[in-house]
Each structure stands twice: as structure tokens, then as C-alpha cells.
Chains A and B, each alone.
Chain A
Amino acid sequence: MSDGKERKKSRVRKFKPGSEDPFQISRSRVQLFLDCKRCFYIQNRLGVKMPKMLPFKLNSLVDTKVKQSFDFAREKQIPHKYFKDNDYNLVPLKHEKIPIWRENFQGLKYHHKKSNLILQGAIDDCVQDLKTKECSAIDYKATQTEDGEKVKYLGAPWHKSWKNQLSIYQYLLEKNELKISKDAYIVFCNAQLDEKEWDNKLSFDVQVIPYEVDLDWIDSTLEEIKALLEAKHIPAYSEDDVCDNCRNLKENNNLINSLLEKSLKYLKSGEAE
């Protein structure tokens, strides 16, 4: 039903096979490639937009507040209290490009010549060891979980994407000519549930979680991404427990096909099941 407004047609950048122009790929799309080849192909080669996620406004607000508090420490070139409390003598990096590197759709960029892809990722922040000049990317994660203590081990399957994210950020920092540390960090803000009457405030338990990044997989993955973008055939559906989109599409298609078959049968025989 029309609501009287002209809707903008949803358009997604898509890869043109054989094109000599570099194709930009964000770190979240790299993760999509790792998670589901089919969905990656549909989005990046065929230009079909994936279903949108609901905006995480509260999480984003926490990110913004944490960013602000890091900016105070950046100004004074002192370790932020979260880092100080965890005995990390690292200060927020002072660099003219920090505002760009932190901005969505801008961020850090690197042209990977072999694949002709531009890898892009926006960091939440970056800290530096003033003695060694080594830099570490930071990503803030705001959530609520009763397993907050366990998060520091980054052992759950879904933590793999956090690790990949930090690795890509470190890779990008290095490619942007910064000396990098072997570790990057997650600032994990876990909202606390208590029995007290709600006073319009949320309090957070904050952990700084180090992760020793792994950069070895990134170059080869970019090459694999390029090969898939150049491929002529759409990859098979992922397993049901791997990709919700694929499961949903597969089930819808099966249902539609069976309805079509029944309709054809009815048209031919005049008998309904």
C-alpha cells in the first residue's frame, strides 16, 4: 500500500566482473563472506540488499559516551581509566586522521593491489604505547549478559567475528603506516541487572579484553573474495544452522515450488488435493 511518499529504490554497490576499478569491501562484508558465501555473492555481485537489522540505538549511545570519555584522555595523553584500572599503560592515539578513521563509511582504508579490493573498517578508537609507539585498535561492545565473566576468554563461536574484526583493524592500522602491537582490545561494557528500583540509570561492568591478533588469513581471504566476485555461479545455500537468510529463502522457495506444483496439477486435472 502506498503511503503517499515516493520510496527511494534500495541500491547496493555491486561488483562488476572484469572492471579495473577497485571495489571497496568493508570489514563486515569480509565477515559476511566468511559466514555465508551465497549471501555475500547475492549482496556484492548481484546487488540485492540483505534484510536490515534493527538499529541498536542504546548500544550506539553507550559507544558514543565511551568515545567521548576516551577523547578526554586523548587530550591529556593519559591512559583512560578503563586501561589504567587494568594496568595497561596505553593512551588514546593522537593523530590527525583519528576522526576519519572512527567515522562509519569512511574509516581506515587500504588498497589491496593483488585482489584490487579496497578494505575498509571504522575503528572505535586506537591506543598507543608511548614508549614503543605501538598502536592497538579498540572496539567497544555494549550489551547485557549474565556470562560477563566468561567473555574475557573470547571462546564462544560468535566471538570469532570479534576476533576477525580486531585483526582487520590492526591490519588496516599497519597498512596505514602505524607501528602495531600484537594485541588489540575490546572494551566490554556489560549492563548490570540489580534488584534495586529503577532510577533511570544503567550501570556497567567494564572489562578491557586483550586479543592477540591474527593477520595471516587476511591477504588470502581477500584473494578468495575476489575469486568469488569474479565467479559466474551463485554458491549453494549454506547449512541451516550457519545462515538464517539461506534457511529462510530455502524454506520459502520449497514452499512456493510445492504450491506451484499443486496449482499446475489442479489446472491439469481439475482435482484439488
Chain B
Amino acid sequence: MNFVWFDYESSDSRVNHGQVCEASFILTDDRFKILEKKELKCRLKPNVVPSIGAMLVNNIPPETLKNAPLSHYQLVLENYKWFEKFRPAYFTGFNVTSFDIEFYRRMLFKTLIPDVYQTNTRGNKIHDVLPQVRAAKFINRNCIATKLNAKGNDSFKLQDLAEVGNFNHGTSHSSMVDCLNTIEVAQKVKQGAPEIWEASLNSAHRTDSEKIINSQKIFTAFEFFYGRLRPYLQKHLFYHNLYRWSICWDLKHHPKDYLNLDRGSLSKALQNAPKVIRTFKQNKNNVIMNKELGLKYEPYDKIGINEIMERSKILDQNPNFVNSISSILEDLAREKQESNQTELLFEETIYTGGFVSPKDKDNMTKFHDVDLKGKLSLIEKFTQERYSYFAKCLLYEEYSKEQLPESLYNEMHRHFAKRLTSTDNEKWETFASFYKECDDHREKYKDDESKLKILEGYNNYVEKMEKKFENA
């Protein structure tokens, strides 16, 4: 299959409320030969205050945010069409499972494109270069050059990998440059650690990962925390009843030490560090390697294959013990869910609000095809309030005050005015949080003329925006 490499530069790192300002896509074949490229830039939505921290990273000038050729809505439609054109493919990039995919799904969700899971359905798979390069470096240190960070760990920031690797595609944090740099990193992974590359392709979809887990039962996985990658030789026990993650036993621990614990003690033991239970997320493109790899590393090398198999056998022979673990983990998850009862905003309901109904799907399709009058008439036809809300947001963002019915314009304008003028600590950028962040950066860059100029540009942009929301 071909690869669609993609990267977004956004106004904010908060996926529910930020917006994409720049998107780049590259289609390559499985040998990284570039077949097509596309770069899209869009204007900032009238109801989004940019995070100055994010803008200083991606260096998009305020002029682009005002004068880019596309609106955000147009960018999303173009993006969706482009991805559709090259289906089926691996949708890949750097750290996409944590950021870009989540951003893209929300773009579709809030733009009333029902195909929110476009990148992992109908043959498409999600592939992420970040976990692969970490694993590749772990098994072959010569695979790719890395910088050491202040704590003496390898830095896997794309910018750093590009710098030490002399990739020469231009300044990092432009979406096209980041795509090209990611392709370079992937090439190095494929050359330096082909087994990791192969494994990463085999685990690019939840069902693919589950197939491997179900057949191998004992496998090696990697986890990255405290700046370092760690291998785990683990045995799959079951899939979590709520989250569907693969719940595994870390075979460095002997199950006999836990078998006779009562439920309360076992529950405590499961939550203590070092954890005996490891959670493997099948949809994050984490590599699944065979047990032989894990046996090369401490402490599994000292435990040895015979003892590992013995521990695995004990777990197989004690289904009640495994059931207890399953029940404890389910209870803990339910407790956590119940303790977090804060009401979600519509923007936050992508995963909790259920799948789109056929009727809403039909209305969404119509929404993009009809004129303003048709769009207005569809607002009340959605069966879920969140979709009516997104429809109103889209109209507010895409049409002028003069084009919209006064009541609709006023409703949405007041809604966003209330959000943006809030002085509380919100989940989105407000005028107040922007100015504070801007002042902090002015102090930080007081000797850097060019940065101060950018800050001034953004400050002027937001001041003008604020005026529009005064007296709303």
C-alpha cells in the first residue's frame, strides 16, 4: 500500500478547540518515492484566538491567518477529498496517533463530515513514525543519529532528528518540511531496523494488532516514559471490558506471588509500582515484537525462556485469578468514570456521543451540497443537538453578519463572545490568556527584535478581534 504522509500546523495544541492553519500531504509508494504533494493554508476562524506559543513554533505570520486563500471549512473539505483520492493507504506522520489524527477527526466531526474514522476504515491504516524511530534506535543505536537532551536522553523531536541528520528540507515546523523530514526518518528506520519497520506496518490497525496478540500471546512491547524507551516481555491476558486495550502480565513478575491474595490486596498490588499489569493500546501503532527480542534484555535475559514459559503456564492454569484482575480493572475504570462527571461541551463529544445516525449522516451530506437557505433549513433537522450546534458554528464562521439571519448571528456571536472574553482558566485560548501569554513571551524575547515584531503582529490581530466581541 502507498503512504499518505501528513502534518498539521495549528493555532493551538488543544485538539478540541484549536484549528489547523496549515496542512501538508505527500503521497509516496512503499519505497518512499514521492508521487504527489499538496499544501493547504487557511484563514483563522473568526471565533478562534490563537495560542501565541503555538504560533511562535510554526512561524505562520498573522498576515497568512488573515489572507490565506482558503477558509477553514474549505481546507477541511479539500483535505477530506485528498485523503479519499488515495484510499487505501497508510496515513502516517510523526506523532500522528497522539496529535494529527485526533485533530483531523475533530476537524471532520465539527465540519459535519460523517466519515470521522476515514483514516482507519475501508482499508486505510494509521501508521506513526515516532514510536518506530524510538524502537529502532533502541535495538540499533546506529540506525539514526540523535541529539542528547539536558537529561542525557536521546531526543526524538523531529526538529532535532532533522538537525543532526542534516535533512536539508528547510526550517522545521512548516508542515511540508515536517512531512519531508518524517519521510527521511522513516527511511532510516526501514534501513537500520527493518524488523521494526515491518512490525510497524503489521500493527497499523487494531484488528491487525489483535491478530498478532491473539496468535503470539507472549510478545515484546515497548513503552516510552521518563524520556526513555523500555522493553516489556508480556503475556496477553484479556481485553479490557471498557476500553478494549490488551491487558498483559509483565513476565518479570512471578504470578505465584499474587495468586493467593484476596481481592482487596490484589487490587492494591495491581496499582503499585512497578506495575505487574501492562496495558497495550492496539490502535496506537505500537510495535509488537516476538518474545525472543524481549529475552535479550534485562531482566528477562536472566529469567530465561524456561522460567518465562512456566510463569505463562501458571497464568493459563488460573483463569479465576485472571478473571479477578479483569473485574478489578473494570471496577477501577468505572470508579474513574463516575468520579469525572463534568459535563462535556459538544466539541468534546467525538468519542462519547456515539456514532452518527443514518438520518444525521444524510443531513450532513446534504448540508455541504445546498445553498445558505438549504443549510439554514437543515439546522433543526439533525437528531442530535451537537450537530445542529456545529451547523450553526459553520454558518457563523463561513458567512457574514449581513448574510445570516440576525437571530442566528446574534446567538452565535454572543456564545463565542462569552467564551472568548472569559477570564477563567478555560479549555480554549481567551483574550485574557492570550495577552498574558503574549506578555510572558515579550519578556522572554525582549532582546529578539524579530520575535517581538511577530508578537506585535499577533497582538494587533487579537486586539482587532476583541473589539468585534465587545458589547456582544
A residues contacting B by CB (< 8 A) are: 149-150, 153-157, 212, 214, 239
A155 touches B85 (CB 8 A): no
A150 touches B86 (CB 8 A): yes
In the bound assembly, the distance between CA atoms of A35 and B33 in angstroms comes to 24
Contact with A along B210-231 (1 / 0, CB 8 A): 0100000000000000000000
B86 touches A155 (CB 8 A): yes
- A153 to nearest B CB, angstroms? 6
CB-CB under 8 A for A157 and B88, given A212-B33, A239-B211: yes
Tell me whether B123 is interfacial, beta carbon within 8 Å.
yes
**9 chain-A/chain-B pairs, Cβ below 8 angstroms:** A150-B86, A153-B35, A153-B36, A154-B2, A154-B29, A155-B27, A156-B123, A157-B1, A212-B33
B33 touches A155 (CB 8 A): no
Which residues of chain B come closer than 8 Å to A156, judged between CB atoms? 1, 88, 123
A153 touches B86 (CB 8 A): yes
CB-CB under 8 A for A155 and B31, given A150-B85, A239-B211: no
In the bound assembly, the distance between CA atoms of A157 and B33 in angstroms comes to 17
Which residues of chain B come closer than 8 Å to A149, judged between CB atoms? 85
Tell me whether B89 is interfacial, beta carbon within 8 Å.
yes
In the bound assembly, the distance between CA atoms of A214 and B27 in angstroms comes to 19
Which residues of chain A come closer than 8 Å to B88, judged between CB atoms? 155-157
In the bound assembly, the distance between CA atoms of A272 and B282 in angstroms comes to 44
In the bound assembly, the distance between CA atoms of A149 and B2 in angstroms comes to 15
B residues contacting A by CB (< 8 A) are: 1-2, 27, 29, 31, 33, 35-36, 85-86, 88-89, 123, 211
Q: Do most interface residues of chain A lie in helix, strand or loop, or is the interface mixed? A: loop
In the bound assembly, the distance between CA atoms of A154 and B88 in angstroms comes to 10
**Among B2, B31, B123, B211, contact of A153 (Cβ-Cβ < 8 Å):** B2
A155 touches B211 (CB 8 A): no
- A210 to nearest B CB, angstroms? 11
A157 touches B86 (CB 8 A): no
In the bound assembly, the distance between CA atoms of A156 and B35 in angstroms comes to 14
Which residues of chain B come closer than 8 Å to A155, judged between CB atoms? 1-2, 27, 29, 86, 88-89
Apart from A155-B1, A155-B88, 7 more pairs, CB < 8 Å:
A153-B2, A153-B86, A155-B2, A155-B27, A156-B88, A156-B123, A212-B33
In the bound assembly, the distance between CA atoms of A154 and B35 in angstroms comes to 10
Return the chain B residue nearest A157 by Cβ. Answer: B1
Which residues of chain A come closer than 8 Å to B35, judged between CB atoms? 153
In the bound assembly, the distance between CA atoms of A153 and B4 in angstroms comes to 12
In the bound assembly, the distance between CA atoms of A239 and B86 in angstroms comes to 26
In the bound assembly, the distance between CA atoms of A156 and B125 in angstroms comes to 12
- B25 to nearest A CB, angstroms? 13
- B202 to nearest A CB, angstroms? 12
Interface centre among A155, A156, A212, A214 (most CB of B within 10 A): A155
Q: Can you list the 4 inter-chain pairs with the closest CB atoms, starting with the nearest?
A: A155-B2, A153-B35, A157-B1, A153-B2
Which residues of chain A come closer than 8 Å to B85, judged between CB atoms? 149-150
Return the chain B residue nearest A212 by Cβ. Answer: B33
Which residues of chain A come closer than 8 Å to B123, judged between CB atoms? 156-157
- B191 to nearest A CB, angstroms? 13
Which residues of chain A come closer than 8 Å to B1, judged between CB atoms? 155-157
**Among A153, A157, A212, A239, contact of B27 (Cβ-Cβ < 8 Å):** A153
Which residues of chain A come closer than 8 Å to B86, judged between CB atoms? 150, 153, 155
In the bound assembly, the distance between CA atoms of A239 and B207 in angstroms comes to 12
